[in-house]
Amino acid sequence: MSTDSPHFRLEEVAPGAWAALAGDTGACVSNAGIIDLGDQTLVFDTFVTPTAGTDLRRAAERLTGRPVTLVVNSHHHGDHVRGNQAFSDASIISTERTAELINETSPGDFDAYATHLSGWIESLDQQLADGDSAGRPDVRSDLQSTRAMAQSVLTTLPELTITPPTTTFSDNLVVEGSERSVHLLSYGGGHSDSDTLVFLPDSGVLFAGDVLWVEHHPWAGDGHPDEWVGTIYRLKALAPSAVVPGHGTVADFEYARLFTRYLTFLCDMVKQAEATSTSVAKLAATPIPPQYAGWASGNRFRSSLEALGRRAGLPPD
C-alpha cells in the first residue's frame, strides 16, 4: 500500500496490522508497525527521525481513523525511538531497562552530537571518494545508506526532542482491544540488554524489532548473542505465521533458523578466539561465511565481532 511518506512503505500483514518498512531516504533506517486494536491504535517503534515519526503517526491515523494512544519501543537504539516525540500525547511503553538505556544513551549535548555527525559524514564521503570501494557495489551501497541516515539525523536534529517512555512493564503485558489483542513480550536481553516483541495471537504475526533481521547483518555489539539465540528458541513456541523484522522484509518464521545459525557462528568465533587468545583485530578479520555474503551492511559483521571481542577482554592486536 502506498503512503504519503517518501520514507517508508506500508504492507498489510494481517487484518488490522501493517508493517511500515523503511525505505532508503535514511529517515527511518528500521521498520515500524501499526496495529488497529478496534478501539485503540498502537504503534510499534518510531524510526530514527521526528520527520519519519510524524509521517508514521499520520499513516496510523489514516489507516485506523483514530489517534495513536499506545506506542511500544522495542529497545533503546536511536533508529527505533527517535520518532517518539510525534506521539507525545500517547502512552509510550517499554521495559524498565529500555527506558533507562534511552535516558542514558540519547545525545545530551546536541552541538557536540551535530559535530560528531558532520565528522562522520565527512569520513563516509572520504571513503566513497577514495575509490577502494569502486569495484564493490555492496560496500558502496552500505556506505551510501549509512550516509543517508547520518545526513537525515543531522538535518532533523534542530527539531529533535528526546522523548523517553512514559510507562514500563516487566516481561508480559496483554493489551485487549475491542477487535483484537496484542501481547507485549520481553524475554530479557539478546540484541540489547532488554528487547520487547509484539505478538498478535489471532493472526500469529510477530513484530520482532531487532531480535530478527532479514538479509541484513545484525548489530550484535551491544548484545548478548547466547541469550539472543535462547530468545529466538522461545519464540518458536508461539509458532508465528509471519515476522516483521527490525530490518529487512517481512518473512516466514522459518527464516529464524538461518539467522540463529548466524548468531551461533558469532558466539563460536568469539569463544574460539578466547580459547586461543586471538586478538580483537584477528577476530574481526574473520571472513563473512558465503551464505551471508549477500546480506546488506556487511561492515556490521566486522564491527560486531570487534565489539564482542573487546567485551570478552581479548588483546587488541
What is the binding site for Zn ion (CB under 5 A)? 77, 210
Residue 18 vs 228, nearer CB to Zn ion: 228
Cα end-to-end span (Å), the chain? 50
- Nearest residue (CB) to Zn ion, 40 versus 259: 259
In the bound state with Zn ion, the residue whose beta carbon lies nearer, of 16 and 53, is 53
| 37/81 with CB nearer Zn ion | 81
What is the nearest approach in angstroms of Zn ion to the Cβ of residue 195?
8
Q: CB of 122: closest distance to Zn ion in angstroms?
A: 25
Nearer to Zn ion, 7 or 300 (CB): 300
For the bound state, the minimum distance from the C-beta of residue 137 to Zn ion, rounded and expressed in Å, comes to: 25
Of the candidates 79, 80, 71, 77, the one whose C-alpha atom is nearest the C-alpha of residue 105 is: 77
Minimum distance from residue 48 beta carbon to Zn ion (Å)? 11
Min CB(77)–Zn ion separation in Å: 3
Task: Report yes or no: 48 and 30 within 8 Å, Cβ to Cβ.
Answer: yes
**Residue 180 vs 300, nearer CB to Zn ion:** 300
Considering the complex, what minimum distance in angstroms separates the CB of residue 81 from Zn ion? 10
Nearest approach in angstroms of CB 178 to Zn ion is 32
Nearer to Zn ion, 153 or 273 (CB): 153
